[in-house]
Structure 1
Amino acid sequence: MTGEALVDGIDRIMIGVRDVAEAERIYTRMLGRSPSWRYRDGGTERVIYRLGNMSVDLLSSSETGAPWGSLLSSQLDKAGEGIVGIVFSTPDAARTVEGLKARGLPAVLFPEAEVSGPAGERRRWRSLMVPAEIARGLFMMGHEQLSPEPLPGAALRPGLREDEAISALDHVVVMTSDADACKHLFGEQFGIRLALDQSKPEWGVRQLFFRLGGVTLEVVQPLDSGKAPERDQYWGLAWKAGNVGTVRDRLAREGADVSEVRKGRKKGTEVATIRKPTCGVPVLLVGPAAESA
């Protein structure tokens, strides 16, 4: 049974990359937006895009002797580029840590932090960390915003219309070998609402759909144990598009490798796949199906 929610949204998805400048080029084209902020912290160089319901955090190692830089370098050496973690938002990091500990998940609370951007702008926050080794191999953090103003939204690139850009995340996918264990982790320990638990033999999977702050956290367990990952892993992202065809056509004009629009698995939706380069992240566009002619 799910208890009180200890987090209230997804603050950002962290994507580990080798070259943050190249990753910025890729995601500025993909999203149709310019970055909200750039900064260095703990041996990492980061580029942030704040969207409607979360942020994209591109990070590369800039100093391997520093704690976060060393951790990221090790992760990239083992698994390559891709999603390295989720940062949940919380109004009270200390309270979240105490709640997680009470539910058997010993999170770590960090001291208040403050960093400056390239123009001297300063931001303050308090963070917590759930080590991957106690969370099925999934690196997770929590973030309490202490700055009085939110991070600026990622502005449209010059010359683009709003309907040609990506404005929000629809869902993030976690692959697992044990859906029940993830149900306990996300539902019972974090207190995130489980909206749907279904098995789809025709697709060969069991799916859990957790809802949090306007984003779906989708957990997928292959029904064939031989196809399940040895260790749980963050897999892919599905971006919201008001009109999938419009965003898809803009990406194609700009030279991206993107599929044709097709019918989505969810009734009333259509999708398109954005292929490499995506910094190791499987990417889907999803939106309402266009009205039939």
Structure 2
Amino acid sequence: MITGLDHIVVLVRDLGAAEAAYQILFARTPAWRNSGDGADRVLFTLDNMTLELMAPSGEGATADRIRNVIAQQGEGLASLCFRSNDIDRMHRRLERLSLKPEPVAEADSQDTETGATLSWKRTRAATDATRGVRLFFLELPRERPLSVRTEVASITAMDHVVVATGDPERAAALYGARLGLDMRFDRSHPDWGRLMFFRCGDLVVEIVHRPGKDLDAARDRLWGLSWRVADAEATRARLAAAGVEVFEVRTGRKPGTRVLTVRSGTCGIPTLLVERTAAV
């Protein structure tokens, strides 16, 4: 029923600054801009998902809620939205799993530059039933336009989104048994804890448990993002020339990968770039 990850929402104070930062990181232009319902939004659509930057705008309940979240938690990752090919069936499944979904609602958006429109249906699970992570589910009958590449060595797609947990067994039960994502990897290490990879379309939801970290066992949190690149060295050179702080390319923990860490220009989100060097 879940066919992939549709988009991730990032809350920011200054939408213009966040847009400029991600244009540099991705080497792509925004695919969509929209304003309304107390928020301004800029969307970057890559090959397998969309990143939505959202900032409060004007007055009202939505704008106040966004400002309160940013005041309490700072800028950063706010929610995941999974793609479904049948939202009504998805809603029934969520009800059976006691995830207390909101009624299915129809929504639409108009791009402020082109006037193009998109419509979709969505629901949201209750946050107290999803271990503190805001989870949405969406049926979108037509694909969004892709963000246009502006330079070589651009970001191509998302590789994985990281969820930090204080209770790996319950987190695994939520994303695996209840939501139906396919576990592909489960490994523990004394230095870096336990990692679990759940396949979600063309990317991975990674559950991380690091012993000794001060995490609420009842609440998970969205922690970081990983993006795919075709050439890690070329991408590092491009970002460094643009003034972005990046580490050296190194061999990844996952066999057949090379990775580098991005330390600035991500709105405070821990960010890793991944080059696949071999089929894995």
**TM score, norm. by length of structure 1:** 0.90
Partner of 1:100: 94
State percent identity of aligned pairs.
34
| In structure 2, distance between residues paired with 1:120 and 1:266 | 43
| In structure 2, distance between residues paired with 1:153 and 1:79 | 30
Superposed displacement of residue 228, structure 1: 3.9
1:223 is paired with a residue whose SS is coil
Partner of 1:76: 70
Letter in 1 for 2:110: S
Partner of 2:254: 266
Q: Residue deviations 1:189-226, cap 9 Å, x none?
A: 111111122211232x11111001111100011233xx
Structure 2 unaligned residues grouped into runs of 5+:
none
Query: 1:277-292 alignment to 2 at 5 Å?
Result: 277-289=265-277
| In structure 1, distance between residues paired with 2:183 and 2:59 | 39
| In structure 2, distance between residues paired with 1:64 and 1:240 | 38
| In structure 2, distance between residues paired with 1:11 and 1:272 | 25
The yes-or-no answer on 1:215 pairing with 2:182 is no
1:167 is paired with a residue whose SS is strand
1:52 is paired with a residue whose SS is coil
Superposed displacement of residue 111, structure 1: 2.1
Partner of 2:159: 170
Runs of 4+ aligned structure 1 residues displaced above 6 Å come to none
Are the counterparts in 1 of residues 84 and 139 from structure 2 also a CA contact under 8 Å?
yes
The yes-or-no answer on 1:182 pairing with 2:171 is yes
| In structure 2, distance between residues paired with 1:85 and 1:172 | 11
The yes-or-no answer on 1:136 pairing with 2:136 is no
Q: Residue deviations 1:257-281, cap 9 Å, x none?
A: 1111112112222111111231120
Are the counterparts in 1 of residues 25 and 265 from structure 2 also a CA contact under 8 Å?
no
Partner of 1:87: 81
| In structure 1, distance between residues paired with 2:270 and 2:158 | 14
Greater CA drift, 24-33 or 37-46: 37-46
Letter in 2 for 1:100: L
| In structure 2, distance between residues paired with 1:209 and 1:222 | 15
Are the counterparts in 2 of residues 93 and 109 from structure 1 also a CA contact under 8 Å?
no
Superposed displacement of residue 64, structure 1: 4.1
| In structure 2, distance between residues paired with 1:7 and 1:228 | 31
| In structure 1, distance between residues paired with 2:143 and 2:185 | 32
| In structure 1, distance between residues paired with 2:118 and 2:277 | 40
Letter in 2 for 1:83: L
Are the counterparts in 2 of residues 97 and 106 from structure 1 also a CA contact under 8 Å?
no
Superposed displacement of residue 289, structure 1: 4.5
Partner of 1:197: 186
Closer, same or farther: CA 144–41 of 1 in aligned 2, 3 Å: farther
Query: 1:24-35 alignment to 2 at 5 Å?
Result: 24-35=19-30
Partner of 1:63: 58
Q: 2:232 aligns with which of 231, 244, 251?
A: 244
CA RMSD of aligned residues (A): 1.5
The yes-or-no answer on 1:8 pairing with 2:21 is no
| In structure 2, distance between residues paired with 1:177 and 1:80 | 21
Are the counterparts in 1 of residues 88 and 104 from structure 2 also a CA contact under 8 Å?
no
Structure 1 unaligned residues grouped into runs of 5+:
1-5
| In structure 1, distance between residues paired with 2:65 and 2:126 | 12
2:155 is paired with a residue whose SS is coil
Q: 1:53 aligns with which of 36, 48, 53?
A: 48
Greater CA drift, 116-125 or 18-27: 116-125
Letter in 1 for 2:80: I
**TM score, norm. by length of structure 2:** 0.94
| In structure 1, distance between residues paired with 2:126 and 2:68 | 15
Letter in 2 for 1:266: K
| In structure 1, distance between residues paired with 2:172 and 2:242 | 41
2:105 is paired with a residue whose SS is coil
